[in-house]
Structure 1
Amino acid sequence: MSDEPGTPDTPTGGPRPEPLRFFGTSWVNHDDGYAGRRAAVAVGSLAAALVSCLVLRFAYQGLQIANTDSFVTVLVVAMFAICSALAFRNTWDGFGGRLDPDRQASLRGLLAIGFVGSLLAYFFRSLTEAPGEKLHREEYEKAREEYERRSSRRTGNPSKKRRSK
């Protein structure tokens, strides 16, 4: 038995699952409050997205009060819409596979502007699974299969085996 909550029992020397943000390793067996955590993540990310939209509305009203040209207003709104769509897509793709770190670094500013899209992607993914669970489950199962294959081949000390005559 494991002493840490949410840590599944694994044989000594076997692969350990990678913890997910907000879930730890409860995603492996869907235990230790997994459903409640998923609900909390969904509600929290949706609430954060709504608050973010409210902040963006205040920014839009600031542009209206400043009597900026309509061209500037359209550019700002289009910038946030496009950046949010790109951030949504990038975040969604990150749940299914590892992303290139260099590409992520080059998109950092764009993703910061499109933070609403990232929050919405987190919300929609948490409706079906813990965000990133699919990728981590595939990697963990592959590591367990490789470990089982390696450990089943070595069943004892080869020098003690009987030799056939």
Structure 2
Amino acid sequence: MSEPREDSPRRSRTPGSAAGPDNRPGGVPRPGAGPKPEEIRFFGTTWVDHDGGYGLRRVAVAAGSLLAAVAGCLVLRFAYQGLETARVGGFVDLLVIVTFSVCSAVAFRKTWEGFSRRPADPAREESLRSLRMIGFIGVLLAYFLRSLAEAPGEKLRRGEYETALARYEKRHGARTGNPAARRKPRRR
């Protein structure tokens, strides 16, 4: 039979031992405990210390999103030429151009806002998914422009992570040691 590991949730403790919030005796936090940074698409957690090829990843995201936007424009151009060949009429041509332009503009704005703040209503953001798919060029351009300055969404996540770290340090800095072992002042 194997012995339970130290980090196993089913390990046994001796009766009367004071355990902290993470089940370690004496309330001592485990090394590496605390808030973990949220991963960013294409960057993982390299944005925290700007290590692990962070600069190369930013260049790759910028170049990739720009190339994808150019390729998307070429595909839309071929689709528009198909409409001209089919001679569907000026109204349909105008409708297609306006639809892709408006959807791209709205998708750009919503994506850009998503880099700096969390959505107030996630259900509403979910309902805009199809609009973002139609306006994919706006999404790609937003990624391109943001990745020129930072990883897309880095500022938002860095602020949240630093706030969580400060809260964690404040909470655990005040609770070092075993409070039951402290001497109580005598009453006279």
State TM-score, norm by structure 1.
0.90
Q: CA RMSD in A?
A: 1.3
1:18 aligns with 2:45: no
Query: Aligned AA for 1:41?
Result: V
2:88 corresponds, among 50, 53, 68, to 68
Query: How far apart are residue 51 of structure 1 and its match?
Result: 0.1
Q: Does 1:157 align with 2:178?
A: yes
Q: Which has the larger radius of gyration?
A: 2
- C-alpha deviation, 1:105, in angstroms: 2.1
Tell me which of 80, 101, 110 is aligned to 1:90.
110
Distance in structure 1 (CA, Å) of the matches to 2:49 and 2:153: 15
Give the Cα–Cα distance (whole angstroms) in 1 for the partners of residues 180 and 31 of structure 2: 25
Measure how far apart 1:150 and its partner are. Answer: 0.6
String of CA shifts for 1:15-59, please: whole Å, max 9, x gaps.
Answer: 111111111111000011100000000000000000000000001
What is residue 131 of structure 1 aligned with on the other side? 152
Q: Which 5+ residue runs of structure 2 have no aligned equivalent?
A: 1-29
Give secondary structure in 2 for the equivalent of 1:87.
helix
TM-score (norm 2): 0.80
CA distance in 1, matches of 2:31, 2:50: 19
How many residues are matched?
156
Measured in 1, the distance between the counterparts of 2:148 and 2:103 equals 23
Structure 2 residue aligned with 1:78: 98
* Aligned pairs (5 A) from 1:22-37: 22-37=42-57
The aligned amino acid for 1:82 is V
Give 2:168's aligned amino acid.
Y
Give the alignment of 1:28-67 within 5 angstroms. Answer: 28-67=48-87
Q: 2:117 matched to 1:104?
A: no
For the pair 1:146 / 2:146, whether they are aligned, the reply is: no
- Could you tell me how far 1:11 is from its partner in structure 2? 3.9
